[in-house]
Amino acid sequence: MRVPNVNGDIMKEFIIKNLSLRYSDDNESLRNISLEIESKAITVLFGPAGGGKSTFLRVLNRLNDLADVKEMKGEVIFQGQNILDPKTDVIELRRKIGMVFSRPVPLPLSIYDNVAYGLVMAGEKNKQKLDHAVEQALRQSFLWDEVNDRLKDSAYSLSGGQQQRVCLARVLALEPEVVMLDEPTSALDPIATSNIEEMLGELKQQYTIIIAPHNVQQAVRVADYAAFFLMGELIEFGPGKEIFHTPRDKRTSDYITGRYG
């Protein structure tokens, strides 16, 4: 199924070409972004608020279809297809590209039903398969041991950090290609945050991960590749080590050293 774009040893999950986007209130926008996102690695999008990180993520799974977008140009190639093409099967796309939001938003359902939700919506009825997928996903998000005796409880009975891991588990249950996380730890305490960060290291063996961390420290900790977004522009992109230790652009180094943002 997967169409590998092999360039030497490196596989690209997304190739973004000249992506521009404007909302109808001209608020947050993207300006001519070109970027190639590595497969099975953690790509970090960082920069001050309002820089277009969330918008960028929401273009990749077409969740921005819901927003008041005035104009969008450019290409996003995923598995050989330009997903901005109106003919793209958005439902199918979103099953391959999972997303975790900045606040834990479990659906008002039980833990089990939350994790099984995507599969059930995709038409999976086999109870055994669902059970298996739920267990697998909860194990991957290190939640199984904590909740396996109360899967029928509401997801809202869990702590914030557990809720966020449920949100991750329900994405993983769909066995996506890509997991996107939009400030996934902004509502969590330091311990829950480090749990999630640790998990990312494991997950990148299997998934392409794109994350907009909620501060620079987190960006430094998890990044394989890093992209610095400022006011809708991609200022700099490259391997994390280079970006954080020897940034080429002054704006990047100013931001990293805390001059603004």
Partner 1 sequence: MNQTRKHDDQLINSVIRITGYSSILFVLLILFFLLREGLPALASTPLKTLFSIRWYPIEGYFGILPLILGSILVTVVATLIALPFGIGAAVYLSEVAPPWIRDILKPIIEILAGIPSVVLGFIGILVFVPFIRKFLDIPTGLTAFTGAILLGLISIPTIVSVAEDALNTVPNSYRQASLALGATRWQTIWDVTLPAAKSGVLTAVMLGIGRSMGETMAVMMVTGNAATMPVHLNSLFAPIRTMTATIASEMGEVAAGSQHYQVLFLIGIVLFLLSLVINIFASLVSTKSRQRSERLLS
Residues that bind partner 1 (CB under 8 A): 61, 63, 66, 91-92, 94-95, 98-99, 101, 103, 105-108, 117-118, 121-122, 154, 156-157, 167, 170-171, 174
Q: In angstroms, give the least distance from the CB of 32 to partner 1.
A: 26
Which lies closer to partner 1 via its Cβ, residue 153 or residue 249? 153
- 154 burial level (CB within 10 Å; 0-12, 13-18, 19+): middle
Interatomic CA distance for residues 26 and 250, integer angstroms: 27
Interatomic CA distance for residues 170 and 159, integer angstroms: 16
State phi, psi for 211 to the nearest 5 degrees: -135, 140
Which amino acid makes up residue 212?
A
Residue 161: count of CB within 10 angstroms of its CB: 20
Interatomic CA distance for residues 19 and 30, integer angstroms: 7
CA dihedral sign of residues 144, 178, 38, 29: negative
Which lies closer to partner 1 via its Cβ, residue 12 or residue 170? 170
Which lies closer to partner 1 via its Cβ, residue 41 or residue 171? 171
Q: In angstroms, give the least distance from the CB of 243 to partner 1.
A: 28
State phi, psi for 106 to the nearest 5 degrees: -65, 150
Which lies closer to partner 1 via its Cβ, residue 99 or residue 212? 99
Contact predicate 187/5, CB 8 Å: no
Q: In angstroms, give the least distance from the CB of 112 to partner 1.
A: 14
Interatomic CA distance for residues 77 and 231, integer angstroms: 23
Token output for 145: 């041991």
Contact predicate 115/170, CB 8 Å: yes
Q: In angstroms, give the least distance from the CB of 120 to partner 1.
A: 8
Q: In angstroms, give the least distance from the CB of 97 to partner 1.
A: 9
Which lies closer to partner 1 via its Cβ, residue 108 or residue 201? 108
Q: In angstroms, give the least distance from the CB of 240 to partner 1.
A: 26
Which lies closer to partner 1 via its Cβ, residue 117 or residue 144? 117
